[in-house]
Amino acid sequence: MNLSNRFYYGWVIVIGAFLCYMGWGVSRYLYPYVLPTIEAELNLTHEPMGIIASTYFFAYTIMTFVWGIIADRIGPRKCMLMGLTIIFIGLSCMGFMSSPITGSLSYLLCGAGAAGIAVPVVPLISNWFGKQRRGGCLATLRKTLS
């Protein structure tokens, strides 16, 4: 049997969404681990570090609505790619952080990009996996490969 007859492209979408969520997780959960080092390097207190962390959630909250509109116009896959790119830019800028303001702007970018991943992933997966394919990943995989 030909592999193209047995392979379902929806699995590529699932793997891509998983990798996007991994990038989102790095941007969201990396900051607390590097916080002590940033505080020591920049000679800061907990207050500015908390403000930097808050900018992520502020941007995420506001950009959720914006990314919804963008996802409707350009499609969820392009939207997720743009969101992941923005997260990458924000994390790269955090590497060059020299003050609380640059840190806040960098983490603001991370939050804005994270919303670009979280918003379109649910309808994207729902579109690729109809009702008969949902709920049982292993059963679906077995059916796809047989």
pLDDT over threshold 90, residue 33: no
> In this structure, is residue 4 part of a structural domain?
no
Closest CA to 83 of 124, 24, 26: 24
> In this structure, is residue 137 part of a structural domain?
yes
Q: What is the CATH number of the domain that holds 113?
A: 1.20.1250.20
> In this structure, is residue 67 part of a structural domain?
yes
**Residue 111 pLDDT:** 92
- Token pair belonging to 105: 């702007």
pTM of the model: 0.76
How many domains, the chain? Answer: 1
> In this structure, is residue 66 part of a structural domain?
yes
d(CA 42, CA 62) in angstroms, rounded, equals 29
Residue type present at position 76: P
> In this structure, is residue 63 part of a structural domain?
yes
Residue 61 belongs to what domain range? 10-141
**Residue 1 pLDDT:** 45
Mean pLDDT of the chain: 82
CB 27 within 8 A of CB 118: no
> In this structure, is residue 3 part of a structural domain?
no
> In this structure, is residue 1 part of a structural domain?
no
**Residue 112 pLDDT:** 93
> In this structure, is residue 146 part of a structural domain?
no
